[in-house]
Each structure stands twice: as C-alpha cells, then as structure tokens.
Structure 1
Amino acid sequence: MIELFVNFVLFTMLVLTALAIVRIDRLFAVVMLSGVFSLLSALLFVTLDAVDVAFTEAAVGAGISTVLMLSTIALTKPVQKKPRHNALVPLIVVGVTGATLIYGTLDMPAFGAKDTPAQNHVAALYLERTPTDIDVPNAVTGILASYRGFDTLGETGVVFTAGIGVLLLLSGLARRREEEGEEQ
C-alpha cells in the first residue's frame, strides 16, 4: 500500500513538473526543473527496482544534461523568445503520438504479473545459475556484471562519454572567460 502511494506521489510530481516546464519562459528555471524531472524519474525507477536505470538517469539526465544546458544558456539569452507560429500542429502531433503509445500498451501484461515472459523464461534460470556460474552472492550484481555485461558496459560508456563532454565544454568556457578578461 505504501509503495502504491509513493509511486502515485512520484507520478503526480512528474506531471506537475512537466506542466511547470511547459509554462515557464525563463530558461534557467526550465533547466533546473528538467533536472528535478530527471531526479524524480530516477526515484521512480528505484521504486520499480530498476536501480541501474535509475543510476544512469540520475547521472546523465539530472547531472550531465543539466550542466550542458546551463553551459548553453551561458552562451545564449536567458529568456525564451515568443514563438511566431501557432502551436496547434505540434500539439496535435504530441496528442497523436501519446494516444498511439497508450494504445500500444493496452495488451501488455499487468505490472508485476507472475505470468509475464520475463518471469517465466529467464528470471528463474538467472536466479538458479548465478551462484554457480559467477560465484556472486547478489543475483542482481551477478546479472548486471556478467549476463548483461555488455549492456552495463554500454551504460557506463554513455556516462563516461557525457562526463568527458561536459569537462571539455567547461574547460572551453573557462578559456573563453579568461580571454574575455584579458581583452578588457
């Protein structure tokens, strides 16, 4: 019961954050709320027992993306320009896309159902073979490090590449500011 309440609160906060992002004109506030949205998403992934996805979302979505967007704002104006066109067509595209995605989920099994393919085929095999194949007492660690090693390596590579990109961007901004300070 408490887990359902926590999930409901997190989903509600996600929706409210998304609505606030759409309504705000100040780009700094949009970037900060985008970071909050990513952290809320990471918390939701934790409650859904997807800790590896939560880690990647927190690192890339909340951390690195926020730094990149803040760096971009440093190079642009802080307020969004008012659009010159009508927003009806993008709204229709988003509505149709959302309706299609919802339609695509209608025949999915219920969340956490015992008869889903993932529960019937590989889960029992992983839990049974992890202690003998890998000799790691924690099944989740064994699955992420061995059976899904390439996937985990890919996620680590994404986080590493994004981090290097941020460091390069920040070093370029520091050089630019130093050059501007020398010119004055």
Structure 2
Amino acid sequence: MDPVLLLDVILLLLAVAAAFTAITLRNLLGSVMMMGIYSLLLAVIWADLFAMDVSITEASIGAGASTILLLMALTRTGTRERKSGDHSLPALIVVVLTGLVLIQGTSELPRFGDPEAPAHRHVAPQYLAQQVPKVAPPSEAMGPAPQPAPVGEDAPGNFGHHVPNTVTAVLAAYRGYDTMFETVVIFSAGMCLLLLLRPLPRKQEESIDE
C-alpha cells in the first residue's frame, strides 16, 4: 500500500474519532481538548495535501484561538454538561441528508493529483505562463505547453508579471482577497483573545462571583 495513502487514511480516521469523541463526551473540558486535537489533525491533513495556507489558518484559529476561547468560556459555565433527553429527529435527518449530498459531490471531483484535472489544464498553466518566461516542455499527460502571456499593463489577467516567485504571485495577486481576509480573521481572533484575557476590575469580578 502506498505509504502516503496509508498516512492519509490514518489521519482521517483519527480526525473522525476525535470529532466523535468531542460530541459524545459529557465532560466539557475533555470535549474542548478533543476539538483542539481534531483541528490539529485537520491542519496536518491540509499540510499533507500541500495546502499550507489553509493548514496554518486551521492550526492558528482552530487548534489555537478557538481552543483558548472555549477554555475561557468554561471558566464561566462549568465543565459538566447537563443531561437532556430531548432529541430532534428532523435535525438528524437534515444532517444525514446534508452529509450524503456532500459525499455525492466529492465523488465527482477529480482524483487528487490528476494531471487532467481542470485546475492543472487551465488555471495552473495560465499562472505559470504569466510568471515563468520560458516553460519547460510538458509531458504528454499535461497537453500542449502554455504560451507566455502578453507583457504590459493592458495584458489580460497579468496581475503578477513583475513578481519573480510564482507562489508569492498566486497568494498576493490571484488569491489576494482570500489571503487578505484570512489575515483579517487571524487578526480579529487575536484581538478578541486579548479582550477576553484582559484582567477584570475588582468590582466586576465581585459582581460575577455573586
């Protein structure tokens, strides 16, 4: 068996086990810890899929900021969940149907690493043609070599012609809005944590204790 595929399967099973444990635990502190482990496993999975920007965001927000935020909430609410016999059957049906739709949608996606995938046939060649002056001859699976984009300010889609690094050009130009708002999310999470972790005035602490 391919060791990379084996690693992916193990990480996926661990993530599913962590999510299931977080849902079923009655101890809220343990549930928060399992959610942090789940987010950390997802960050490793994204890194294994070479989605480093998503991995960094998941690790910082999911495993880091969200875990600290939930731990701070537990200091105000307690660590034990109250037993409740209420179960919503319509909610369960909606969740199951949504999961089936998502599974059906992923079954039609191209195989991971497939050179015939639309992203490799159309999007990536355009990026490379605008960033790399001379592209190496492609293999038979990749099809014809992309032609260099026209040079100049009026060239269509020529966002990063002046950037020598392809990855930098993609993140800063083609995915500029995505990268900008990811930075905004991380900054907002940090500011919220600073506000929550700030020391309370003595009078406010006494009113909370009462």
Could you say whether these structures have the same fold, taking a TM-score greater than 0.5 normalized by the shorter chain as the test?
yes
2:130 corresponds to 1:135: no
Counterpart CA distance in 1 for 2:162 and 2:46 is 26
2:139 corresponds to 1:121: no
- In the other structure, the counterpart of 2:76 is 75
Amino acid at match of 1:23: T
Looking at secondary structure, tell me which structure has more helix per residue: 1
Greater relative contact order: 1 or 2 (C-alpha under 8 angstroms, separation 6 or more)? 1
CA distance 1:176–1:85, shift in 2 (3 Å): farther
CA distance 1:125–1:11, shift in 2 (3 Å): same
- In the other structure, the counterpart of 2:200 is 175
Give the fraction of aligned pairs with identical amino acids, expressed as a percent. Answer: 39
What runs of 5+ residues in structure 1 fail to find an aligned partner?
A: none
- Deviation string for 1:25-50 (max 9, x for gaps)? 11111111111100100100000010
8 Å contact from structure 1 (residues 17, 37) kept in 2? yes
- In the other structure, the counterpart of 2:9 is 8
- SS of residue in 2 equivalent to 1:135: coil
CA distance 1:135–1:78, shift in 2 (3 Å): same
- In the other structure, the counterpart of 1:22 is 23
What runs of 5+ residues in structure 2 fail to find an aligned partner?
A: 134-160
CA distance 1:69–1:112, shift in 2 (3 Å): same
Aligned length: 181
8 Å contact from structure 1 (residues 134, 146) kept in 2? no
Amino acid at match of 1:136: P
Say what the alpha-carbon RMSD is for the aligned residues.
2.2
8 Å contact from structure 1 (residues 13, 40) kept in 2? yes
> Which of the pair has more CA radius of gyration?
2
2:41 corresponds to 1:40: yes
Counterpart CA distance in 2 for 1:147 and 1:125 is 11
Counterpart CA distance in 2 for 1:146 and 1:107 is 29
Residue 176 of structure 1 deviates from its aligned partner by: 5.4
CA distance 1:4–1:84, shift in 2 (3 Å): same
